[in-house]
Structure 1
Amino acid sequence: MLRIRVAFCVKNLARGTEAARQKLLKDPDLDVVEYGCTSYCGICRNYHVAIVNGKPITAETPEELLTNIDEYIDNELLDQL
Structure 2
Amino acid sequence: MADYKIQFCENNFSFGTDKIIEMLENEIDNNIEIKVVSCLGFCDDCSTSPFALINGEIVQADTPEELFEEIKSYIL
Could you say which residue in structure 2 is the equivalent of 1:38?
Answer: 40
**8 A Cα contact 2:17 2:50, kept in partner:** yes
Write the distance in 2 (CA, Å) between the matches of 1:48 and 1:33. Answer: 15
- Report how far residue 73 of structure 1 moved: 2.3
Could you say which residue in structure 2 is the equivalent of 1:22?
Answer: 22
Structure (1 or 2) with the greater helix fraction: 1
Number of residue pairs aligned between Structure 1 and Structure 2: 74
Write the distance in 1 (CA, Å) between the matches of 2:73 and 2:30. Answer: 18
**8 A Cα contact 2:5 2:32, kept in partner:** yes
- Report how far residue 2 of structure 1 moved: 6.2
- Report how far residue 3 of structure 1 moved: 1.7
- Report how far residue 28 of structure 1 moved: 2.7
TM-score by length of 2: 0.86
Higher relative contact order (CA closer than 8 Å, sequence separation 6+): 2
Runs of 4+ in 1 over 4 A off after TM superposition: none
Question: Which of structures 1 and 2 has the bigger CA Rg?
Answer: 1
Residue deviations 1:42-77, cap 9 Å, x none? 111101001000001001111100111122224xxx
User: Superposed, which structure 2 residues align to 1:56-75 within 5 Å?
Assistant: 56-74=58-76
The one-letter code of the counterpart of 1:25 is E
TM-score by length of 1: 0.81
Unaligned runs of 5+ in 1: 75-81
Q: Percentage identity across aligned positions?
A: 31
